[in-house]
Amino acid sequence: MKNIAIDGPAGAGKSTAAKIVAKQLGILYLDTGAMYRAIGLKALKLGINTRDISAVEAILPSTSVEIKYVDEVQNIFLDGENVTPFIREHSVSMAASDVSAIPSVRLKLVELQREIAKNNDCILDGRDIGTYVLPDANYKFFITATAEERANRRFKELQEKGQSVSYDDVLTDIVTRDKNDSTRAFAPLKKADDAYEFDTTTMSIDEVVAELLNRIK
């Protein structure tokens, strides 16, 4: 079984590049951030403070997160409902980062991620794939870019989707999430010692894809 891990901060280009690489290699793409987003979305819907560990933990036993592929595109189901269209909303990003710091949330989702990786050749993107989820992945990458460039990319993406949010808010969100994700105690955002790291600030997506494929081949 072949597994490729791509970790790095939000907006580094992981998911766009990973989707293309998956298609070119004919393997599955698993966006692990979507799972944390689904739990964050549920907490928001229920009006739960996403930093309140016991309140979030209380909803876990009755929460189901499933991944289904429809025409090779990952769809995420929360308690049986397809929430794919809603998880990318700006408000959900910080909620996802908050709930992802809670160990029991991570343990629940990591189990699902490992199960999918065990049964499929796949490329996974996230924060802790190379360090924690799949320490024995065949290939590991850690990709970065400046916070300003990452905010630019995110801002354009949100604008294209018609979400009204300012560049400054997106930048603040990126910087706060970087800090949240890299300083949490359990499985933080971190480069695995054996991961190949590169900076995508001045790279196009095609160049990022080429860099990944070169290493994989």
- Write out the residues near ligand DC by the rule CB under 6 A: 10, 32-33, 36-37, 93, 96-97, 100, 126-129, 177, 181
Least distance from ligand DC to the Cβ atom of residue 217, Å: 25
Q: What are the DSSP calls for 44-76, one per residue?
A: HHTT--TT-HHHHHHHGGG--EEEEEETTEEEE
Least distance from ligand DC to the Cβ atom of residue 22, Å: 16
> Is the Cβ of residue 102 or residue 217 nearer to ligand DC in the bound state?
102
Please report which helix (H) or strand (E) contains residue 118, including its range. helix 103-119
> Is the Cβ of residue 2 or residue 190 nearer to ligand DC in the bound state?
190
C-alpha 93/C-alpha 202 separation (Å) is 24
Going from the C-alpha of 96 to that of each of 32, 51, 170, 194, 201, the distances in angstroms are 11, 10, 15, 27, 24
C-alpha 117/C-alpha 139 separation (Å) is 13
With beta carbons less than 8 A apart as the criterion, state whether 99 and 41 touch: no
Least distance from ligand DC to the Cβ atom of residue 146, Å: 17
> Is the Cβ of residue 160 or residue 217 nearer to ligand DC in the bound state?
160
Least distance from ligand DC to the Cβ atom of residue 173, Å: 9
> Is the Cβ of residue 179 or residue 217 nearer to ligand DC in the bound state?
179
